[in-house]
């Protein structure tokens, strides 16, 4: 095998690993794969046309993010975070996102607040069209965009993991009738950022995240049958678009 062939093979393997990771992560965060779903290696490998090696790499990385639980001799499952973990996740988000809004109030980003406004408008359209999966993703994107506007990639990475795990916790513990993130609260937050009201923006973020946490319930959530292959194929198509 030539060095060029080996490099090509390694690049192809890395691409497959990333595709499996992204598609599976999107399916979990998008609530297409409910907590407790078994992530069968053979099914995933067949769906992506690869061996088990890339699948195991992707599942291990998802395990590192807290989205997947790896059980010896049983396999991988979509994580089922307990309620006390959900509370810790929201506590961590309040600490981190309170700092984010304080940073943004003091340093207006070059693009201003246009990316945040565009995200809210897209979320409103998703709600109007009844696409709650897209609305959920856009709601999470709003918080991640705020982190990106700080210009600190480490903060963005930390918040991305917290947001993903929070979405999973909400999937398990959300109270019936709770609406999750609300765009009018996001709009109030932008208004406070524009006004440079540091303490007001910090309080708004605190209240916003507390309202999300208050929507959690110990009641078990009903589950429906989930076709792993079909869900991953759909997630793969979205990732490619």
pLDDT the model gives residue 86:
82
**Which ranges in 74-227 belong to alpha helices (H)?**
83-106, 114-128, 132-149, 153-173, 183-195, 198-214
**H or E stretch including 71?**
strand 68-71
pLDDT at 13: 82
**pLDDT tens across 64-88, in order?**
888 899 999 899 999 887 778 888 9
Taking the domain 3-80+221-240, which CATH number applies?
1.10.10.10
Inter-axis angle of helices 3-29 and 228-240, nearest 10: 110
Look at residues 96, 121, 120, 240 and name the one whose alpha carbon lies nearest to residue 189. 120
Distance CA 35, CA 152 (A): 31
Residue 78 CA to residue 217 CA, distance in Å, equals: 19
Asked: is 83-214 a CATH 2.60.34.30 domain? The reply is no
Structure confidence at residue 6 (pLDDT): 47
Domain ranges across the chain:
3-80+221-240, 83-214
Distance CA 112, CA 116 (A): 9
Identify which of 181, 155, 154 has the alpha carbon closest to the alpha carbon of residue 167: 181
For residue 62, the SS3 value is helix
pLDDT under 70: residue ranges of the chain: 1-11, 174-180, 218-226, 236-241
């Amino acid at each position: 095998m030539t060095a060029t062939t080996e490099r090509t093979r390694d690049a192809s393997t890395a691409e497959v690993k990333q595709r499996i990771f992204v598609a599976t992560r999107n399916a979990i965060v998008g609530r297409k794969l409910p907590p407790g779903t078994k992530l069968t290696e053979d099914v995933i490998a067949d769906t992506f046309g690869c061996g088990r090696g890339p699948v195991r790499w992707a599942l291990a990385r998802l395990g590192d993010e807290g989205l997947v639980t790896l059980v010896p001799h049983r396999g991988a499952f979509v994580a089922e975070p307990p309620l006390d973990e959900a509370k810790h996740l929201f506590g961590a988000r309040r600490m981190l996102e309170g700092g984010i809004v304080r940073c943004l109030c003091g340093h207006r980003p070059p693009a201003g607040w246009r990316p945040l406004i565009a995200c809210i408008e897209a979320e409103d359209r998703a709600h109007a069209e009844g696409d709650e999966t897209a609305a959920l993703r856009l709601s999470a994107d709003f918080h991640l965009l705020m982190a990106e506007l700080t210009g600190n990639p480490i903060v963005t990475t930390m918040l991305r993991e917290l947001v993903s795990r929070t979405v999973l916790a909400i999937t398990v513990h959300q109270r019936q009738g709770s609406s999750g993130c609300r765009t009018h609260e996001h709009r109030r937050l932008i208004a406070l950022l524009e006004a440079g009201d540091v303490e007001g923006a910090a309080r708004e973020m605190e209240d916003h995240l507390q309202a999300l946490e208050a929507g959690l319930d110990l009641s078990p959530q009903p589950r429906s049958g989930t076709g792993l292959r079909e869900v991953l194929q759909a997630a793969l198509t979205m990732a490619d678009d």
